[in-house]
Amino acid sequence: MQPIMDKIVIIGPESTGKSTLTQALAAYYSEPWVPEFAREYLLQLDRKYRFDDLLEMARGQIESEDERAKQAKEILFCDTDLRVIKIWSEHKYGRTHPWITQQIQNRKYDLYLLTDIDIPWQDDPLREHPDPDMRTYFMQLYEQVLESSGVPWVKISGSPKERFRAGVAAIEARKKD
């Protein structure tokens, strides 16, 4: 596997433009991006997900990330990471599988872009919490998780164009460090 200059994760609550921003940044830098594996997994599931499914989603996310990393020249863009699965697991089940926790501790990322809840909710059968209070609750959880991680992060707000410009600015500032 080639060395990667940076692994950048786009993270945030549901319906905050993570995938759109991830794809736009990857295209701008001509680098690969890792789709959110949980979405693919859930679309193929013919029942409601259970606690054990979160471990499968986490493993799939890691495998996808490792595979796409082989294609990266300088940057790998990740549409979420295992912190998302941990937040959902803790919220829904009050616990997280130890393997997920271990992977969060062992895997290193260089920058997080936290997408804000300042854009309108878009319905999607996989999304669970459209209530504004729940969106605020999850936003606060993501901020706490990132603050305690010690990894650099930037909150990304505004229109899609403003979010894109803020993402590029954060990446370019990181390159200068």
Q: What is the pLDDT of residues 16-37, one digit of tens each?
A: 999 999 999 999 999 999 999 9
Taking the CB of residue 54, how many other CB atoms lie within 10 A of it?
23
Strand partners, 8: 77, 111
Q: Please check whether residue 160 lies inside any domain of the structure.
A: yes
Q: Please check whether residue 1 lies inside any domain of the structure.
A: no
Q: Side chain identity at 112, as an amino acid letter?
A: Y
Q: What is the pTM of this model?
A: 0.91
pLDDT of residue 7: 95
CA angle centred on 121, ends 117 and 124, rounded to 5°: 125
Q: What is the share, in percent, of the chain residues with pLDDT greater than 70?
A: 90
- Structural domain count, the chain: 1
Q: Please check whether residue 164 lies inside any domain of the structure.
A: yes
Q: Please check whether residue 114 lies inside any domain of the structure.
A: yes
Burial of 72 (0-12, 13-18, 19+ CB in 10 A): buried
CA dist 135 and 74 (Å) reads 33
pLDDT of residue 2: 46
Q: Please check whether residue 23 lies inside any domain of the structure.
A: yes
* Residue 4 pLDDT grade (very low, low, confident, very high; cuts 50, 70, 90): low
CA dist 173 and 177 (Å) reads 7
67-82 pLDDT, tens digit each: 999 999 999 999 999 9
Residue 151: what are its φ and ψ, rounded to 5°? Answer: -90, 140
Q: Please check whether residue 112 lies inside any domain of the structure.
A: yes
* Residue 177 pLDDT grade (very low, low, confident, very high; cuts 50, 70, 90): low
Per the structure, the complete domain to which residue 24 belongs is given by 6-176
Give the CATH number, domain containing residue 45. 3.40.50.300
